[in-house]
Amino acid sequence: MKVLKTLGYLLGLPVLLILLWWSSTLGAVNFFVPTPATLVSKFGEVWFGERFFTDVLPSIGRLLVGVVAAIVIGVVGGVLIGSIKWLRALLEPTLEFFRAIPPPVLVPVLMLLMGITDSMKVVVIISGCVWPVLLNTIEGVRAVDPVLSDSSHTYGIDGWARVRYLVLPSASPQIMAGVRQSMSLGLILMVISEMFASSAGLGFTIVQFQRSFAIPEMWSGIVVLGLLGVGMSFIFQWAERNILRWYHGQKEVENAA
């Protein structure tokens, strides 16, 4: 009974919405809105074929490389800048400015500097995604509990061990918040870089469908992007639960007290 109830809550509204969609497209043929059946059949036809390997996988690959590189650069740079006081004071205003620049404007800039290449698209993703991770890491490193910091210093924990066992763990909730932002940014930048300057990839394909008025195909592309976003958010939540298990546990104890 309980399972049924949970299932009902989980699926009730989506099923209702799909029914609504289905019934509203039943009678009249609307040019802009395909019926659910057309969409599903187009979806399989368009995306599970050659296109999966020529457009979808390369896009996802670029996204992964970009986001991972941004996280690595952001965390390493953040730990460095965050632990050296004068460096932080020196760089923080400049970095804040860079963060404030809307990342999509980097597409035309990098196109100019690097030409339209795969590495340009990866660099676009990196240069947009790195700021949330970098600035959040700096903030997290800065906010390390001073008592813990002093204790570990007294015990002679220095250098790499200090970073590994003190700085990174205590900054990790902040870092993960930054990673979350940069993942959704990465997806946006991947699509934009392909829409703006490309002849292949998910973004390009979808715009192409729209330009040729292949409406159901276009919708199926939107669905692919949606699924990609949802998939990434699931992966993130899973990773976060594992990495920050201790943190959530601690919070629970604190809240209970």
Partner 1 sequence: MSSQAPTAGGAGPSAERHHRRVRKAPTKQLLGVAGILGFLVTWELISRLGIIDERYLPPASEVIAALVADFGLTAFWVSVGETMKAWFLGLLIAVVAAVLLGFIIGSSNFLRKATNSTVEFLRPIPSVALIPLAVLLFGVKIESSLLLIVYASFWQVLIQVLYGVADVDMVANNTAKTYGLGRMARIRYVVFPTALPYLMTGVRLAGAVALVLAITAELVIGSPGLGREIALAQSGGAISGMYALVLATGLIGVVINMLMRFIEKKTLAWHSSVRSEVVV
Which residues of this protein are in contact with partner 1, per CB under 8 A? Answer: 9-14, 17, 32, 86, 89-94, 96-109, 111-113, 143, 173-174, 176-177, 180-181, 184-185, 187-188, 191-192, 195-196, 203, 206-207, 209-210, 215, 218, 221-222, 225-226, 228-230, 232-233, 237, 240-241, 244, 248, 251
**Measured from the CB of residue 65, what is the shortest distance to partner 1 in angstroms?**
18
**Measured from the CB of residue 74, what is the shortest distance to partner 1 in angstroms?**
16
Give the burial class of 114: count Cβ atoms within 10 A of its Cβ; 0-12 exposed, 13-18 middle, 19 or more buried.
Answer: middle
**Measured from the CB of residue 216, what is the shortest distance to partner 1 in angstroms?**
12
Number of Cβ within a 10 Å radius of residue 181: 16
CB nearer to partner 1: give 160 or 253. 253
Place of tokens 């993130």: 236
For residue 174 the two structure tokens come to: 């902040």
- HSE-CB at 103 with a 13 A cutoff on CA atoms is 25
Rounded Cα–Cα distance for residues 122 and 112 (Å) = 15
Rounded Cα–Cα distance for residues 169 and 40 (Å) = 45
**Measured from the CB of residue 186, what is the shortest distance to partner 1 in angstroms?**
10
**Measured from the CB of residue 185, what is the shortest distance to partner 1 in angstroms?**
8
What element of type H or E holds 190? helix 168-196
DSSP labels, 88-105? HHHHHHHHHHHHHS-GGG
CB nearer to partner 1: give 95 or 166. 95
CB nearer to partner 1: give 89 or 161. 89
CB nearer to partner 1: give 65 or 243. 243
Q: Name every residue whose Cβ is closer than 8 Å to that of residue 200 and which is 6 or more positions away in sequence.
A: 54, 55, 58, 194
**Measured from the CB of residue 70, what is the shortest distance to partner 1 in angstroms?**
16
**Do residues 171 and 144 lie in contact, with contact meaning Cβ atoms separated by under 8 Å?**
yes
